Amino acid sequence: MNGDPRILPLRLEAVSYEVRGRRLIHDVSGLFDQGTRSVILGPNGAGKSLMLRLCHGLIRPSAGRVIWCGASAGRAPRHQAMVFQRPVLLRRSTAANIDFALSLRRIGRHERRRRVAEALDMAGLARLAKVPARVLSVGEQQRLALARAWALEPEVLFLDEPTASLDPAATHAVENLIDTVNRSGTKIIMTTHDLGQARRVADEILFFDRGRLIERAATQAFFDSPESPEAEAFIEGRLW
């Protein structure tokens, strides 16, 4: 999966989003490049989830543009995947959930079987392959959602608060999985409001507050010396 980028980099040009006249995202610009783990951090209501959905194309910006700059940009949706805060699993077996996603990409039967097995292995779900997905524990469900996304071999993986409803052990497992996926060459763009998680996962932080991108910095720099008062307050927990 390494090698020349297919759709990256992703460029945002003055992206805004409003619903019924209320502006929820203000003028966000920026560039996302290959490989790194970018974490969108901010309090509830900062517009983190909306940002992910705008990037992923689930919603369209009211103003500004979301541009994929790579050679295969015309088929950008095929090279992305998203994991939602609450895993959405189909009412069928664990393996069939992955197989379903692959079949939507028109991947042949043999190749599907191989990738399903590989993805289950990676997520540590191989022995649950035939179990109905909806009787898995929440942690297992989220790992399955990740495995399903990973099996699509996306160049960019979006994760929307993937551990928000998980206990520490399950959170740890999911974070490990994110790391594995990233090391296989997939760009990670993820939201969280959890400072600890941001520290553990991120290469860079994009700090959002009330729909605005307040500051963007490498993880270490952001936590050591935030430039904006909002970020400083958030890190110190004053906004909670």
Partner 1 sequence: MSEIAEAFRTAFQLIVGFDAELGEIILLSLRVSLSAVALATLIGVPLGAAIALFRFPGRGVLTVLLNGLMGLPPVVVGLIVYLFLSRSGPLGVLNLLFSPTAMIIAQCVLVIPIIAALSRQGIEDLWREYEEQLRSLGAGPGRAILTLIYDGRFTLLTAVLAGFGRATAEVGAVMIVGGNIAHVTRVMTTAISLETLKGNLALALGLGIILIILTLGINSAAYLMKSAAQRRET
Q: What residues line the site for partner 1 (CB under 8 A)?
A: 53, 56, 58, 77-78, 80-82, 84, 88, 90-93, 100-101, 104-105, 132, 134-135, 152
Cα-flanking dihedrals φ and ψ of residue 187, to 5°? -70, 130
Half-sphere exposure of 4 (CA within 13 A, CB side): 6
Tokens of 196: 């600890």
Strands 22-32 and 10-19: antiparallel
Q: According to the 3-state scheme, what is the secondary structure of 18-74?
A: EECCEEEEEEEEEEECCCCEEEEECCCCCCHHHHHHHHHCCCCCCEEEEEECCCCHH
Cite the DSSP H helix spans in the chain: 48-56, 94-104, 109-123, 138-151, 168-183, 195-201, 219-224, 229-235
Cβ pair 24, 75 in contact under 8 A: no
Rounded-to-integer distance, Cα 19 and Cα 118, Å? 41
